[in-house]
Structure formats: structure tokens, C-alpha cells
């Protein structure tokens, strides 16, 4: 695939300069960000390159006068200028929290002043987006006002609120020894949303319903949303670790129970121990159920959580690899027979690949079996051409990750925050395990 950027350093610096300037007339002129430190040369086993993420980043002053950090949700090929989606906005809590979590896990965050400044302003953005009701609005509009009415931006029990909780619960650990005042504000914010979770989910009965012959829970986000439940679990466990609370622990256990109920098939029968995402449907994006069960299960010594997650990693992931990966499927159960109602291979996106890499490496961390590093590498090669389109999706020379594969002959070459950060998350973790990247390098 022909690269859209030259590896020549001068052109790379020129790209950064142009991309950090907003030419889109729909977005007002933004406050210039501090000069960007040139990214060090990318070595053969260093794949995490945040150059494109820096280009998507900008500081703005919200209508209340507070300066915050943002990342562009959408950026169109070939120049990757940030654009706005009609009705939504140009940046959102969901992706700003992703970016903050990326920086929190950078190995040099304790000493890198530039990354610290970005983390600080990104965290401020999320704090400013919390509504009076304790949940979070999602989108910021072109005039730097909060979008309080669009479906994907309403302050309620939804993806962006759980992502904010996850981000803030990890940021609190970082700031409690570095900035006591900010840590206090973060803790206040966390307490508000945790109080909501206790009120809205803690007292729900363990009721179920039948969908397409399957017994599904009614006590998760969106009733049976195991994908959202996984993100909520990650945030709540951080909260519990920082301040043990029996009610929080009970909700974590209840979320896990709902996820386990949604595991279908067997080692040899479709869908091979997959955790369904919602009702009778599985979708690749946001499928962090196995990762959450492994990470939190290890911490809480929940062997049944670990065993269930291992079944998905051992059986469902190899099936997906063999299939060339999937976007989604829907099933129906009649008696003990599970039938495939429909299956879709596309679109394939970074957000659907990264969760499998995290879960597979997390399982390696638990049992130290090198086969999981091999499997993680197999999945990771999706980014470098081992995919239905046979094209490189992530370019380590500039940090661009395409938004997705639309078909075996068509790639969406736009590159917004979600795709970019999910790719960075994948390689950021993989770099801790050189054997994984050595395998990827063989393919590349």
C-alpha cells in the first residue's frame, strides 16, 4: 500500500504543523496548542506512534471559559483535518477518555511534561462534561457548548459515562500524589456517578427475559448490554480498590453474573463460548467482556470468571481468526440447538480487534502460556495486512489507523480518534511483550 505520508522527517513535521491547524470552516479557530516535541524515530519493535493523535488534539475554551483538551472524533482522508458530525459535535467524552487512558499508561508519563499537560487538559474536559445529574454528556459542539440533547450525547447510563468513570478512576491514582486539589475534584466526580450506579443498578432484581429462545439478563446497562457492563466493571473495580465498598463489590459481582449468563455455545459448538453483546447479538466493537472478567477476576480471585473468559479466548477467538474476523452475528436457540440467524463480516474496525488482543495478553499474564502471545500476534497482524482487504490499516511511521475495512476491496481511509487510539492501545500493550511484535514483524 502506498503511504500517504513520506518518512522524511521534514515532511512529517510539516504534516504535524498542518494537521494541528483547523481549516474546517465549521469549527471555530481553536487555541493553539504548545509546540509538539518531534516523535522519536520508530524502531522495528516500537510501534506506538502518537503523532496522529497529537494532530487530532487541540485545546479549546468552553463557553464557561475553562480551557480543556479535545481530540477530533472524525478526521477525513487524505489531510485528516478534524470535521464535525451533524447533530453531534467535533469531540466527545468517549474518545477524550480513551486518549487520557492512553497517556496514563505511557511509560514516560511521570517525566514527560508534554504528555502530562495533555492528560491534565483531557481530564479537565471530562470533569467539565459531567451533568448535574451525575452522569456525563458526550459531545462538544462547534461553538464549544455542550450537546445536551442528541441521542449519543445525553447525560445518562451509557457508554460515555462508563468510559468517563474508567478514565477518572485511573486518573485519580495518578493525581492523588501529584495534585491533591485535582485528585479531590476527580474523587467528587467519581462519587457522583458511583452513587448513580448504586441507585440505578444496585437494587435491580436478577430478572431475565427470553430473546430468540435465549435467556438474557435484565439488570445490565441497556438490560443485557454485556459490552457496556465490561467497561463499567473496569471503572468500578478501580473505585473498589481505592476505597473498599461492599455495595460496589456487589454490583461488580452482579455485572459479572450477567456477562456469564450471555456466554453461548461450547468448545465445539457455535458460537464457541462467545459472550453475546446484547440480547441475541454479538458484535466485535467494544467486546471487552473477556478482558474485564480476566483482569477483575484475577484481582478478586474469581476462578469461574477466569475460566469462562479463557473459554472465549481459547475457542471463539481462533474461530474469528479462521473466518478472517467478523463484524457481528445473531443467533436463535431452539431447545439445545443454536442456529445462526445472520452473520456480517464488515465493517471491521480497530475497536473490534483491540479487545481480543488485550484479553489474550491478559490471559498470558495469568497462566504464562506462550501460546497466548502467539495468538495475540496473530490478531495484531490484522493491523499490518492480515485482513480481508490485505492492506495495512495502521502505519507506525505516522500513527494513522484507518477507520475500518468496508469490504475485501474497500478500506475507509478516514482516521478519527476511536480507530487511532484503539490501535495505539493495542501496540502500547504489545510492546511490553517483544515476542508478540517479533511475530508481527515477520508478517510485516
Is 90 exceeded by the pLDDT of residue 34?
no
Query: Using CA atoms, how far apart are residues 136 and 276, in angstroms rounded to an integer?
Result: 26
Is 80 exceeded by the pLDDT of residue 148?
yes
Is 80 exceeded by the pLDDT of residue 433?
yes
Confidence of residue 37 (pLDDT cuts 50, 70, 90): very low
Query: Using CA atoms, how far apart are residues 77 and 82, in angstroms rounded to an integer?
Result: 10
Confidence of residue 320 (pLDDT cuts 50, 70, 90): very high
Q: Of residues 95 and 30, which shows the higher confidence score? A: 95
Is 50 exceeded by the pLDDT of residue 310?
yes
Query: Using CA atoms, how far apart are residues 82 and 69, in angstroms rounded to an integer?
Result: 14
Q: CB of 99 within 8 A of CB of 163?
A: no
In this predicted structure, which of 13-17, 96-100, 371-375, 405-409 has the lowest mean pLDDT? Answer: 13-17
Is 90 exceeded by the pLDDT of residue 33?
no
DSSP β-bridge partners for residue 58: 70
pLDDT in tens, 410-425: 999 999 999 999 999 9
Q: Give the predicted TM-score (pTM) of the model.
A: 0.90
Confidence of residue 214 (pLDDT cuts 50, 70, 90): very high
| Residue 61 backbone phi and psi in degrees, to 5 | -105, 120
pLDDT in tens, 218-277: 999 999 999 999 999 999 999 999 999 999 999 999 999 999 999 999 999 999 999 999
What percent of the chain is predicted at pLDDT more than 90?
Answer: 87
pLDDT in tens, 337-393: 999 999 999 999 999 999 999 999 999 999 999 999 999 999 999 999 999 999 999
Q: What is the DSSP-derived secondary structure letter of residue 260?
A: H
The pLDDT score that the predictor gives to residue 143 is: 96
Nearest to 403 by CA among 412, 395, 391, 392: 412
The pLDDT score that the predictor gives to residue 91 is: 98
Cis omega before residue 39 (within 30°)? Answer: no
Burial 300-338 (b: 16+ CB within 10 A, else e): bebeebbebbbbbbbbbbeebbeeebbbbbbbebeeeeb
3-class DSSP state of 77: coil
Nearest to 378 by CA among 325, 301, 306: 325
Nearest to 202 by CA among 194, 212, 191, 192: 194
Nearest to 279 by CA among 223, 228, 324: 223
Please count the other Cβ atoms lying within 10 Å of the Cβ belonging to residue 247.
13
Amino acid at each position: 500500500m502506498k503511504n500517504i505520508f513520506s518518512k522524511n522527517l521534514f515532511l512529517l513535521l510539516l504534516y504535524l504543523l498542518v494537521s494541528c491547524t483547523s481549516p474546517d470552516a465549521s469549527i471555530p479557530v481553536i487555541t493553539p496548542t504548545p509546540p509538539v516535541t518531534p516523535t522519536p524515530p520508530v524502531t522495528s519493535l516500537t510501534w506506538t506512534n502518537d503523532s496522529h493523535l497529537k494532530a487530532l488534539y487541540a485545546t479549546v475554551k468552553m463557553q464557561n471559559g475553562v480551557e480543556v483538551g479535545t481530540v477530533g472524533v472524525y478526521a477525513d482522508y487524505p489531510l485528516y483535518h478534524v470535521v464535525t458530525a451533524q447533530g453531534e459535535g467535533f469531540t466527545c467524552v468517549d474518545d477524550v477518555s480513551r486518549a487520557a487512558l492512553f497517556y496514563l499508561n505511557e511509560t514516560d508519563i511521570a517525566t514527560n511534561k508534554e504528555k502530562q499537560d495533555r492528560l491534565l487538559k483531557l481530564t479537565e474536559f471530562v470533569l467539565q462534561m459531567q451533568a448535574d445529574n451525575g452522569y456525563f454528556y458526550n459531545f462538544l459542539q462547534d461553538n464549544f457548548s455542550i450537546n445536551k440533547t442528541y441521542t449519543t450525547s445525553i447525560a445518562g447510563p451509557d457508554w460515555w459515562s462508563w468510559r468517563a468513570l474508567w478514565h477518572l478512576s485511573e486518573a485519580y491514582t495518578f493525581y492523588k500524589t501529584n495534585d491533591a486539589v485535582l485528585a479531590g475534584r476527580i474523587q467528587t466526580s467519581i462519587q457522583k456517578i458511583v452513587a448513580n450506579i448504586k441507585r440505578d443498578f444496585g437494587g435491580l432484581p436478577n430478572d431475565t427475559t427470553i430473546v430468540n429462545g435465549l435467556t438474557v439478563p435484565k439488570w445490565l446497562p441497556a438490560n443485557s448490554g454485556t459490552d457496556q457492563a465490561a467497561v463499567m466493571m473496569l471503572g468500578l473495580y478501580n473505585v473498589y480498590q481505592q476505597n473498599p465498598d461492599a455495595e460496589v463489590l456487589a454490583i461488580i459481582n452482579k455485572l459479572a453474573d450477567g456477562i456469564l449468563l450471555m456466554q453461548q455455545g461450547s468448545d465445539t459448538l457455535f458460537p464457541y463460548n462467545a459472550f453475546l453483546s446484547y440480547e441475541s447479538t454479538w458484535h466485535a466493537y467494544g467486546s471487552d467482556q473477556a478482558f474485564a472478567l480476566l483482569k477483575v477476576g484475577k484481582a478478586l480471585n474469581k476462578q469461574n470468571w477466569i475460566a469462562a473468559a479463557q473459554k472465549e479466548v481459547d475457542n471463539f477467538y481462533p474461530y474469528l481468526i479462521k473466518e478472517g474476523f467478523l463484524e457481528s452475528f445473531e443467533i436463535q436457540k431452539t431447545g439445545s440447538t443454536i442456529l445462526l440467524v445472520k452473520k456480517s463480516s464488515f465493517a471491521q474496525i480497530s475497536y473490534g480487534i483491540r479487545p481480543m488482543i488485550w484479553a489474550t495478553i491478559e490471559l498470558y499474564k495469568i497462566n504464562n502460556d506462550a501460546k497466548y502471545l502467539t495468538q495475540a500476534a496473530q490478531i495484531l497482524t490484522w493491523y499490518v495486512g492480515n485482513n480481508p482487504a490485505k492492506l495495512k490499516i495502521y502505519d507506525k511511521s505516522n500513527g494513522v489507523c484507518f477507520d475500518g475495512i468496508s469490504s475485501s476491496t474497500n478500506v475507509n481511509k478516514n482516521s478519527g480518534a476511536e480507530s487511532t487510539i484503539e490501535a495505539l492501545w493495542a501496540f502500547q500493550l504489545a510492546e511490553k511483550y517483544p515476542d508478540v511484535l517479533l511475530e508481527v514483524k515477520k508478517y510485516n
